[in-house]
Amino acid sequence: MIRPATPADIPAIHALIRELADYERALHEAKATEEQLHEALFGPHPAAYAHVATDSTDSVIGYAVWFLNFSTWRGVHGIYLEDLYVRPTARGGGHGKALLTELARLCVERGYQRLEWSVLNWNTPAIDFYESLGARPQNDWTVYRLTDEALVNAAAH
């Protein structure tokens, strides 16, 4: 049901990323191409990693894209989960939980001490799901982002 992604999974992952962006009301922001995903996941210097959830026909129905982060306080790596998505028609079958538990298993196996991610404040089904697994919000922290023109302007200072 859960396995590391392969280069052959790129078209399916790309399609699922676009589905997730549409669900999150930001399809116009999903600009990554299949070629960029292939380079990021399988190029000579991978920037990220992916696992996929498959159904009984081995069709990809969900994915998790993640990368390593580092805690200066703990002194070890952790995993930052960039995306977790399961097609609506496959939800309730344990695929999302299986993807998260696989990443938790990798953390434990490799000595990583954190598995972190962000969730949109309005996405109560996801929040309820995460909290059912024991995840807790980090309400003392606010995510900031520089992008587009603001990023260019900051780089010019």
Catalytic residues, which ones? 130
Cα separation, 9 vs 60, in Å, equals: 7
Residues 65, 27: Cα–Cα separation, whole Å: 18
SS3 state of residue 25:
coil
Q: Which is nearest to 16 in space by CA: 64, 57, 62, 52? A: 62
Is-contact 52 3, C-beta < 8 A?
Answer: yes
Tokens of 86: 């399961």
Q: How far is CA 85 from CA 10, 19, 156, in A?
A: 15, 9, 36
